[in-house]
Each structure stands twice: as structure tokens, then as C-alpha cells.
């Protein structure tokens, strides 16, 4: 097992541009992105194109009494104005899991910012002004904004007459999905407990805050179809939702991935895709839509805010006896990924611990709040904040060290999850905790320097100069989390890769074509590394991602290196077999090893496993082209039973642990996170630099949720801070040193033994930071983000 602390500097030293897996190959798109030369989807331009603009609802819940578009249409430069009545087919809704989201409002608006009408004009400002001339008469309706108002006797139903696949199971139509998990007998086990600890926790609404706003360009085709260039996470899922609304067969909607400026789950749902296509098909002209920052906050779903109730019991000797919990997630106006979020929240609510007797319930609500869906670590992030707070509380109640207590109850390979699923690959939970705990602590009072004045940058409040060390207390906190990798609960999760091997200018060249969305995770880099390793070539071309090849599935759920990486690996292996067949045909008679030895492709040559060179790959291929497209699936999963929650629901788990060191100005409630160390098992680091980058990024996003990031939704369900001036994400001054310790314990079920890594570090970061603040202040701190007033009190 590896296990050294790695920094970007020591990873990049000597990194080659054309290395295989295991090397920190630099990203082909990296330099372009940091120098501002990379073409994002918002940079696209087409001769004669129009600009689309979306008129959105100013209300969270209202009936549309009338829409008058005549003034907007009369404006010079306007080519089209579309409302719900103009939709071309009977398919007027879309959605990831339920088809419940109107393409344009259908007589009712259910959340602030819901699209009501579209305008296409020859200039973006013209489109905006025309939209302002659309007269919409609303009658405001009472809002559903929390569990009480959603389930009240006279509660307005968000979606009366639901016909989705969970409709018949839910206890109330304003519950999107409910998943109980019952295992053992929690009440009986509770009688064995020497201590019982309960807690109530709350997680605020976090935003993905990707930097590239939603954008794309739709170009009408001569065949009546449309070409859509768009920044998304899953081209084929978009396609499945777009085509029926347009009334086109899927092959007439040709999609190409455009430059994506971050995603984090926020591009799983459609935003402007259908809108741009509708306008392009209506006007016969290319139509570009780009949201500005304000609109972007209304253009994508957010992380589910959650309320969580937990009860844990433990014996005096520190063994957990049972757990009961209830998790209520606010799904907002439309289902989006809510059912899957409920599945994760419930099945992972126990955390990475062994507890045999559990009673778990998770629900997602329909409300008039902003729709919530996918965001890095969904479901698991909310649960981890609560169960890790509970672990600290139980340990304190028992008078035990919180890390030792966790290690005593940590799951291992072979542990049975509350769902009955056996954890059948390494689960080094105790080891990860040991590693972060073993790291040296950053020195105390780092703000003190040889001179007289304090270095305020090392203090809470930073350059605001609010303290020079007085009132500052250090706290250290730990947390560990568990996240599932890939799509769960029986979903047919697969990816597709097409690999072409041929000789170009005398050199063997591989072309890798997938529909994988590169959203910044580094897939294009890793796929080239895989092709080099498997085919022994230097030159690999990554074909642009589009729908001319089979689905890659979503760039989410930490799954792309596993799934599309796996697809590239498998297809490369098949291509290699074909190339070797060619070799045997051409040269087999010249050397017996062609028939008898295990053959590999290395350095552009066919070699035996003993290292003997049999032929140049270029000669083997000659004028032949080997070109294969294959699908790759992970082993099947199954749905959780709707009553007991039992089932082989997850294909793989990933684990990360954090240690947070904070300095808290207890007078003013300001927090400086000094260090946030992370240890994570990644199975196999295909690109160590990218691994560290993902861990540091996820850690920072978790820090944001811990101390500052929250979309403020007021009591009338209206978003109050849709700007980066008012929605705060950590700047580099808020970002601590993040030492990273990478473990590589292979999961034998996965390609190369790798483990999906993108989400796990987001989970434990948040509770570790809050645990450290609790340690510094002695406060309970039941809600994130923690704000100054939570520390100072009123």
C-alpha cells in the first residue's frame, strides 16, 4: 500500500505529456484554461445567429392568468416569442427521474425563477427588452416551504395526479420519495445501551457555484433536425429529454459537448437545451443562449437543504448499539434527482460504522422552494454532517477519544450495511483516521512572528484586522465519511467507448471517442493515459464528445474514471486483441512466440511477456484500421426494498477522512481554518496529480458549506442572494493548507482496482471543520453553514 503525503509540486516534477496510467500527466486543457484561451460554451459564435432569452417567474407559486406577447413580438429585431402554448408536441415536460418539469410554465409557476416564455432576437439586449414587454398576469398562491406546510391537511399539492414510479408508494403526494431502512431491532438494541444520544441537525442550501454559466448554441439542420453544442454532464440523458419535446427522433438531435466551466451536479438537469432548440427550429436560425450569473442561480438545481434527527446508543465500552434517524430533504418544486438523493441519504445514513440494529427513514419533499438535485456527494453530504456530529457527542458522553471511538466502530471489508449489502472491497476507515491523526499538527500561534506585529493573515478575520490573537482559541476536529460510487439501485449503468487504432505518418495512433463530459475532472487526460498503457502507443487523439457514439453516462457520482475509463480500457483490450490477430496473420510464421507467448503492446511494438520484440505495431497494422465501439457495465445492483430498504444497491463505496484545525475568534465568531488534512483510499491513482486536485477541491467545497456557502431562501420561498457578491464561496484566503494522504487499496471489481474519488472528500470536510469549531467553543452547532452569530450568540 502506498501512503505518502503528496503535494502538487512533487507530483508534477518530471511528469511527461505522453505517459500511461499512474503518471501525473498534465492536462491538455489545463494551460488553455488558466491562460483564458480555452473556448467555453459561452464563447461560441455562429454567423447570423440569434440570441435567446428566458422570461422567468418573479413568484414562488402563482397561477398565470394571462400572457400577452404582442408588444414583445412587435419589437424590431425580435424573431420569435414562445410560451407553453407554442410547444410543438404533446411532450411538454422533461425530467431526470420523473417527467414533471414543464419546458415552459403550464399555467402555474411553482418556484421563483421558473421559465415562463422565450424570446429570440438579433441582439441579447433586444431579447431582454422584448422579454420585459411580455405581459404576464399572475395570481399569487400560498407557498409550501417546509415539511409542515407540505404535509398540512390543506396543503396545496405541487403535482396533483402524479403518475411517476414512486407515486403509489409515498405517504403524501408532496413527498417525492420515501425510503425506510429497517434492519435488526433498534428498540431492543437500545435497551443494551448505556448511553443514548440524540441530536437534531440542519444543512443549508448549497450551490454548485460553477464559474461557467449555463450556455449553448442550437443550429437548425437542413434535414429538419438540430445540432446542439452545449456544456452539460451527460449528453445522452439530455438527448432523451430533448428529442420528444421537439418531436424529433433522437438521431435528428445531434449533440456535441462544448467547453464546460465546472458542473458539480448542477448540469445534470436541463437548463437552456430545449429552449435554444425550440427557438432555432422556430426561426430557422442558429440560437445562442447564455445565462448571466444572476440567472444561473435560477438556471440549475442546488444541494438539498436537510433537517436530520438522529439517535445513537452505545455501551460503556464504546460499542454502538443502534441508530435511528429521520432525514427530511427539501426537493423544491420539481423532482430532479430527489429520489436518488433519498436513496443515498438513507442507505448511507449510518456512516462508515458497524451498527446492526437500525431504523432509518429519508424523505424528499415537493415545496415551492428552488428545485434541488444533484450536487457533489448528494444525500451522503447531509447525512455525514449529522452522523459525525453524533459520533463526537457519543464519544464525549462516554468520555472517549472521538477518533478512537470511531475506530472502535469503524466498518471493514466484510461489514454488513443497513441495506444488508456486504462491503466486499477494502474499507480502511480506521486506517484513514489513524493517518490524518498521525500527521503533525500545524504550529500554534502561527500569527506570531519575530517582529512586533501579528501576521493577521493567519488569524480569524484575516486582513480585517479584527484580532491580533486575543480571544482566539484553537480547535481540532475529525470526521470520516462513506460515499457510493456510480449509479445505484438497479440502474443500468454503462458507458461506451470507441477506439480506433491506425497508422498515421508511420506512427501508430489511437483515437478515443466517447460521449464523456469533461467538466474539469480530468477525464480526457486519463483516457489518453489508459489508451497509451493498453495499446503501447504514444499518440492518442481524444475525439470531441458527442452523441455519434454511445452513451457514457453522467460525469457524476464519482463514476467517470471507473465507467468510461473502464469502457476505454475494455475497448482498448479488444482493439489490442484484433491488432495481435493481424500480427499473427502477417508475421506469425516468422516467430513461434506469436503463437505461444503472452503478447503485449509497448512503446509502439509487439513484445512478449518476456520482453522480446516481435514487430513494430505500425508494421502489424499496415493499412488496416482497427475500430471498435464497446459498452462497459459495472456489476448489476438492485433496488432497495421499499419497506425494509434491503438490497444490493451500491456497486462501490469510497472513503475519506479529514482532520480540521481551526482558530476561532470567540469574541466575534470568526473562524480561520488553518489546516484541513485529508486521507482517502483511491484504489489506484491513475493520475496522482488529478487525484490530489479532486481531494483538495472537494475539501474546499466542504469547507464552503461548513462556514459560508448558503442560498438564502426567504419565508416566501424567494432566493435572496443570487450573485457572487452575496453568495460567498471560499477565496484563497479562506482556503487552508490541505495535506493529502493517498491510499491505494485495490477494489478487485473495478478497472485497475480504482475507486471513484470525486465526492468522498466533500463529505467529511464539512463535519471535520464544524467539529473543530465545537472543540474550540464548546458550542453544539447543529447547523451549517456556521455563521458568526452562531458562535457569539445574540
Partner 1 sequence: MKTFQYERPADADTAVALLADAPTGAYLGGGTNLVDLMKLGVAAPDLLVDVSRLPFDAVEETGTGGLRIGAAVRNSTLAVHPLVRERYPVLSQALLSGASTQLRNAATVGGNLLQRTRCPYFQDVGKPCNKRRPGTGCPAREGAHRDLAVLGASEHCVATNPSDMAVALAALDAIVDVASGHGPRRVPLTDLHRLPGDAPDRDTTLRHGELITAVELPPPMPGARSAYRKARDRASYAFALASVGAVLQVREGLVHHVRVAFGALAAKPWRARTAEEALLGEPATTASFDDAVRHELAAARPLRDNGYKVPLARRMAVSMLTELAAASAGGTP
State in angstroms the smallest separation of the CB of 478 from partner 1.
Answer: 24
Find where cell 394571462 sits.
66
CA atoms 80, 82, 86, 91: torsion sign? positive
**With respect to partner 1, which residue has the nearer C-beta, 501 or 661?**
661
State in angstroms the smallest separation of the CB of 717 from partner 1.
Answer: 11
CA atoms 151, 138, 301, 86: torsion sign? positive
**With respect to partner 1, which residue has the nearer C-beta, 85 or 125?**
125
Torsion, Cα 133 44 723 371, to 10 degrees, reads: 80
CA atoms 437, 443, 444, 446: torsion sign? negative
State in angstroms the smallest separation of the CB of 775 from partner 1.
Answer: 21
**With respect to partner 1, which residue has the nearer C-beta, 605 or 672?**
672
**With respect to partner 1, which residue has the nearer C-beta, 207 or 431?**
207
Q: Extract the C-alpha cell encoding 114.
A: 421558473
Torsion, Cα 183 185 190 193, to 10 degrees, reads: -70
CB atoms within 10 A of CB 453: 9
State in angstroms the smallest separation of the CB of 733 from partner 1.
Answer: 4
**With respect to partner 1, which residue has the nearer C-beta, 166 or 718?**
718
**With respect to partner 1, which residue has the nearer C-beta, 62 or 760?**
62
State in angstroms the smallest separation of the CB of 393 from partner 1.
Answer: 25
**With respect to partner 1, which residue has the nearer C-beta, 470 or 631?**
470
Closest among 665, 735, 673, 675 to 468, alpha carbons compared: 665
State in angstroms the smallest separation of the CB of 464 from partner 1.
Answer: 4
State in angstroms the smallest separation of the CB of 461 from partner 1.
Answer: 7
State in angstroms the smallest separation of the CB of 444 from partner 1.
Answer: 20
d(CA 71, CA 85) in angstroms, rounded, equals 17
Radius of gyration, CA atoms only, the chain: 27
State in angstroms the smallest separation of the CB of 467 from partner 1.
Answer: 7
Residue ranges that bind partner 1, judged by CB under 8 A: 58-59, 125, 128, 294, 452, 461-468, 470-471, 667-670, 672, 707-708, 712, 714-716, 718, 720-721, 725-726, 728, 730-731, 733-734, 787-789, 792-794
**With respect to partner 1, which residue has the nearer C-beta, 255 or 784?**
784
Q: Where are the alpha helices (DSSP H) in 731-793?
A: 760-777, 788-792
CB atoms within 10 A of CB 135: 12
Q: Are 472 and 663 in contact, with CB atoms under 8 Å apart? A: yes
- HEC string for 623-680: CCCEEEEEEEECCCCCCCCCCCCCCCCCCEEEEEEEEEEEEEECCCCEEEEEEEEEEE
Q: Extract the C-alpha cell encoding 320.
A: 454502538
- Counts of helices then strands in the chain (DSSP H, E): 20, 32
**With respect to partner 1, which residue has the nearer C-beta, 319 or 716?**
716
State in angstroms the smallest separation of the CB of 729 from partner 1.
Answer: 8
Residues in the chain: 794
**With respect to partner 1, which residue has the nearer C-beta, 561 or 700?**
700
Residues 6+ apart with CB under 8 A from 465: 456
Amino acid at each position: 500500500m502506498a501512503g505518502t503525503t503528496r503535494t502538487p509540486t512533487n507530483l508534477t516534477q518530471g511528469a511527461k505529456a505522453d505517459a500511461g496510467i499512474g503518471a501525473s500527466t498534465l492536462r491538455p486543457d489545463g494551460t488553455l484554461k488558466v491562460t483564458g484561451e480555452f473556448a467555453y460554451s459561452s464563447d461560441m459564435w455562429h454567423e447570423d445567429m440569434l440570441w435567446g432569452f428566458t422570461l422567468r417567474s418573479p413568484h414562488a407559486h402563482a397561477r398565470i392568468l394571462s400572457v400577452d406577447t404582442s408588444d414583445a413580438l412587435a419589437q424590431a429585431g425580435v424573431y420569435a416569442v414562445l410560451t407553453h402554448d407554442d410547444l410543438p408536441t404533446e411532450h411538454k415536460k422533461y425530467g431526470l427521474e420523473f417527467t414533471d418539469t414543464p419546458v415552459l410554465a403550464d399555467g402555474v409557476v411553482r418556484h421563483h425563477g421558473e421559465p415562463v416564455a422565450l424570446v429570440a432576437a438579433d441582439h441579447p439586449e433586444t431579447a431582454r427588452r422584448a422579454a420585459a414587454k411580455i405581459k404576464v398576469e399572475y395570481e399569487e398562491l400560498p407557498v409550501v416551504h417546509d415539511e409542515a406546510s407540505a404535509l398540512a391537511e390543506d396543503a396545496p399539492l405541487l403535482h396533483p395526479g402524479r403518475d411517476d414510479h414512486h407515486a403509489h408508494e409515498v405517504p403524501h403526494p408532496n413527498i417525492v420519495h420515501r425510503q425506510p431502512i429497517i434492519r435488526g431491532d433498534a428498540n431492543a438494541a437500545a435497551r443494551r445501551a448505556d448511553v443514548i444520544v440524540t441530536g437534531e441537525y440542519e444543512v443549508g442550501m448549497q450551490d454548485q457555484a460553477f464559474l461557467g454559466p449555463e450556455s449553448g448554441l442550437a443550429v437548425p439542420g437542413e434535414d429538419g433536425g438540430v445540432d446542439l453544442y452545449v456544456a452539460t454532464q451527460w449528453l445522452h440523458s439530455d438527448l432523451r429529454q430533448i428529442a420528444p419535446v421537439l418531436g424529433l427522433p433522437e438521431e435528428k438531435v445531434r449533440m456535441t459537448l462544448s467547453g464546460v466551466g465546472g458542473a458539480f451536479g448542477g448540469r445534470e438537469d436541463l437548463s437552456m437545451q430545449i429552449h435554444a432548440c425550440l427557438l432555432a427550429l422556430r426561426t430557422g436560425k442558429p440560437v445562442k443562449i447564455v445565462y448571466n450569473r444572476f440567472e444561473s442561480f435560477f438556471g440549475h438545481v442546488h444541494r438539498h437543504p436537510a433537517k436530520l434527527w438522529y439517535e445513537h446508543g452505545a455501551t460503556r465500552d464504546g460499542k454502538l448499539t443502534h441508530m435511528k434517524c429521520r432525514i427530511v430533504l427539501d426537493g423544491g418544486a420539481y423532482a430532479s434527482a430527489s429520489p436518488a438523493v433519498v436513496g443515498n441519504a438513507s442507505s448511507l445514513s449510518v456512516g462508515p460504522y458497524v451498527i446492526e440494529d437500525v431504523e432509518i427513514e429519508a424523505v424528499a419533499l415537493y415545496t415551492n422552494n428552488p428545485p434541488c438535485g444533484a450536487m457533489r456527494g448528494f444525500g451522503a453530504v447531509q447525512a455525514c454532517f449529522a452522523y459525525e456530529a453524533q459520533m463526537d457527542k457519543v464519544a464525549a458522553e462516554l468520555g472517549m477519544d472521538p477518533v478512537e471511538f470511531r475506530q472502535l466502530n469503524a466498518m471493514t471489508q466484510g461489514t454488513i450495511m443497513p441495506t444488508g449489502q456486504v462491503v466486499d472491497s477494502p474499507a480502511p476507515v480506521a486506517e484513514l483516521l489513524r493517518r490524518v491523526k498521525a500527521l503533525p499538527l500545524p504550529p500554534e500561534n502561527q500569527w506570531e512572528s519575530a517582529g512586533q506585529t501579528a501576521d493577521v493573515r493567519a488569524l480569524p478575520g484575516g486582513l480585517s484586522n479584527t484580532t491580533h490573537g486575543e480571544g482566539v482559541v484553537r480547535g481540532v476536529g475529525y470526521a470520516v465519511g462513506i460515499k457510493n460510487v456510480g449509479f445505484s439501485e438497479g440502474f443500468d449503468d454503462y458507458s461506451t467507448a470507441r477506439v480506433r487504432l491506425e497508422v498515421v505518418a508511420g506512427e501508430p495512433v489511437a483515437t478515443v471517442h466517447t460521449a464523456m463530459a469533461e467538466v474539469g475532472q480530468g477525464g480526457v487526460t486519463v483516457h489518453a493515459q489508459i489508451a497509451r498503457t493498453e495499446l503501447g502507443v504514444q499518440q492518442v487523439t481524444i475525439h470531441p464528445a458527442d452523441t455519434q457514439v454511445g452513451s457514457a453516462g453522467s460525469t457524476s457520482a464519482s463514476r467517470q474514471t471507473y465507467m468510461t475509463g473502464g469502457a476505454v480500457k475494455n475497448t482498448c483490450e479488444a482493439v489490442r486483441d484484433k491488432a495481435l490477430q493481424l500480427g499473427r496473420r502477417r508475421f506469425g510464421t516468422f516467430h513461434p512466440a506469436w503463437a505461444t507467448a503472452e503478447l503485449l503492446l509497448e512503446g509502439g511494438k509487439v513484445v512478449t511477456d518476456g520482453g522480446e520484440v516481435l514487430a513494430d505495431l505500425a508494421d502489424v497494422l499496415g493499412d488496416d484500421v482497427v475500430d471498435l465501439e464497446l459498452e462497459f457495465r459495472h456489476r448489476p445492483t438492485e433496488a432497495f426494498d421499499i419497506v425494509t430498504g434491503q438490497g444490493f444497491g451500491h456497486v462501490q463505496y469510497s472513503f475519506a477522512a479529514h482532520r480540521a484545525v481551526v482558530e476561532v475568534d470567540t469574541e466575534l465568531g470568526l473562524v480561520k481554518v488553518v489546516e484541513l488534512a485529508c486521507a482517502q483510499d483511491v484504489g489506484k491513482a491513475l493520475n496522482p496529480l488529478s487525484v490530489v486536485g479532486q481531494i483538495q477541491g472537494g475539501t474546499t467545497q466542504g469547507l464552503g458549506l461548513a462556514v459560508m456557502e448558503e442560498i438564502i431562501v426567504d419565508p416566501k420561498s424567494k432566493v435572496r442572494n443570487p450573485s457572487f457578491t452575496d453568495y460567498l464561496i471560499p477565496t484563497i484566503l479562506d482556503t487552508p493548507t490541505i495535506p493529502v494522504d493517498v491510499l491505494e487499496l485495490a477494489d478487485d471489481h473495478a478497472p485497475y482496482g480504482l475507486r471513484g474519488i470525486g465526492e468522498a472528500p466533500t463529505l467529511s470536510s464539512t463535519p471535520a471543520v464544524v467539529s473543530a469549531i465545537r472543540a474550540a467553543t464548546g458550542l453544539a452547532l447543529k447547523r451549517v453553514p456556521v455563521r458568526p452569530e452562531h458562535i457569539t450568540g445574540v
